[in-house]
């Protein structure tokens, strides 16, 4: 199974490294490899969250995620999206933005000798708007999970009070709106405050619209009501069997429900990719190397990890993994929102996700072993 799932990723990785070597020699190969590792380390929590959504999709839409979704991730988010930001915010024609990207100023300067800004400078100046959009999208995702009524909790001392708070209607939107106002009022520079407010509102609207439509069409499908949850979530803590997998949904999302789940996954991937794309410019500003490293290596490996988690039933075997991933999402949302004014090192961003997921995995292993000892027959 491992070869079948990761085989294509390995082949594409070797091809991307070869292309980087032909493009820029050993320097290009090294930069491409570093960017691939960066993307995978930053996006493991993305893979876990993707897996929770992918479990609810039919096999057809899962294949769409692995084919059309890859093209969107590689060419759309890692190549065309940065170019689009530059030509929109910089008032440039698309061809001019591409020429600017491929011909940086000499000696790595921020501006050309005539005073015009470089491709990297224009993109970095647009970071506050990008961060506000992605941060609010991810914040709502985090809040909707943590404030939901679920019996299984990981960090119970804070998750149980959040669950009780979630009984208030529309509280997630209220909290997100308050956070956006605070960020705009106290962190955003005066000249970007209005832009950050608009971008954050667009992030909230996008999440509410895409998530709402996917939920609506799932409910309309015959045989499907609410999205399925794991056995551990529907039973009392301590009663689930160790190593159990999530039951498959009675009816996997197809048709319009599958399409909106697919669209939800792509917007989610876009929100996760913002920090990787911006962080890549600390390593190189070459869009070709960025697309090869982040897209052809990182994004495709993340999708293979997602499929592996689904096929192996990992989310059911390790009960707290989904909780850890959502805490990592909450941390990333905060980092993105704070970064509208304060630069946060990309290493910190990547390590936070690794720490939360690693801790959740260790807690799951400990809980499974404790149950095994409790249920083991006495000899």
pLDDT in tens, 47-88: 888 888 887 788 888 888 877 887 887 777 777 777 777 777
95, 122, 189, 260, 348 from 128: Cα distances, Å = 25, 12, 10, 28, 18
Residue of 198, 206, 155 lying closest to 328 (CA atoms): 155
Is 90 exceeded by the pLDDT of residue 22? yes
CB 227 within 8 A of CB 248: no
CB 283 within 8 A of CB 31: yes
55, 171, 242, 318 from 245: Cα distances, Å = 11, 32, 9, 9
Percent of the chain scored above 70 by pLDDT?
A: 85
pTM higher than 0.85: no
67, 218, 225, 266 from 222: Cα distances, Å = 27, 9, 8, 25
Per-residue burial over 320-333, b if 16 or more Cβ lie within 10 Å, else e, is bbbbbbbbbbbbbb
Average pLDDT value over all residues in the chain = 80
Q: Which of 172-181, 196-205, 274-283 has the lowest mean pLDDT?
A: 274-283
């Amino acid at each position: 199974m491992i070869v079948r799932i990761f085989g294509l990723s390995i082949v594409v990785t070797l091809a991307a490294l070869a292309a980087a070597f032909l493009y820029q020699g050993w320097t290009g190969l090294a930069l491409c490899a570093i960017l691939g590792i960066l993307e995978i380390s930053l996006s493991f929590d993305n893979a876990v969250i993707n897996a929770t959504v992918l479990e609810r999709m039919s096999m057809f839409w899962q294949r769409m995620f692995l084919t059309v979704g890859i093209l969107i991730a590689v060419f759309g988010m890692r190549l065309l999206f940065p170019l689009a930001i530059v030509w929109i915010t910089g008032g440039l024609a698309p061809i001019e933005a591409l020429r600017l990207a491929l011909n940086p100023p000499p000696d790595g300067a921020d501006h050309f000798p005539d005073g015009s800004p470089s491709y990297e400078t224009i993109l970095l100046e647009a970071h506050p708007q990008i961060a506000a959009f992605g941060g609010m999208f991810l914040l709502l995702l985090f809040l909707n999970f943590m404030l939901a009524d679920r019996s299984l909790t990981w960090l119970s001392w804070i998750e149980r009070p959040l669950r009780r708070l979630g009984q208030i209607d529309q509280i997630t939107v209220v909290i997100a709106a308050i956070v956006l106002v605070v960020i705009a009022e106290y962190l955003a520079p005066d000249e970007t405050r209005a832009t950050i407010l608009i971008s954050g509102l667009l992030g909230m609207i996008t999440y509410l619209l895409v998530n709402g439509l996917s939920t609506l069409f799932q409910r309309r499908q015959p045989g499907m009501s609410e999205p399925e949850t794991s056995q551990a979530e529907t039973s009392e803590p301590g009663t689930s069997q160790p190593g159990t997998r999530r039951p498959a949904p009675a009816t996997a999302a197809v048709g319009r429900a599958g399409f909106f789940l697919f669209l939800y996954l792509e917007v989610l991937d876009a929100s996760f990719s913002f920090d990787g794309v911006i962080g890549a410019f600390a390593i190189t500003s070459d869009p070709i190397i960025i697309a090869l490293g982040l897209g052809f290596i990182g994004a495709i490996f993340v999708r293979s990890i997602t499929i592996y988690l689904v096929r192996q039933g990992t989310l059911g075997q390790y009960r707290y993994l989904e909780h850890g991933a959502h805490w990592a999402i909450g941390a990333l949302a905060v980092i993105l929102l704070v970064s509208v004014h304060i630069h946060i090192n990309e290493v910190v961003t990547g390590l936070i996700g690794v720490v939360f997921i690693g801790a959740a995995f260790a807690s799951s292993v400990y809980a499974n072993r404790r149950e095994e000892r409790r249920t083991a027959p006495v000899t």
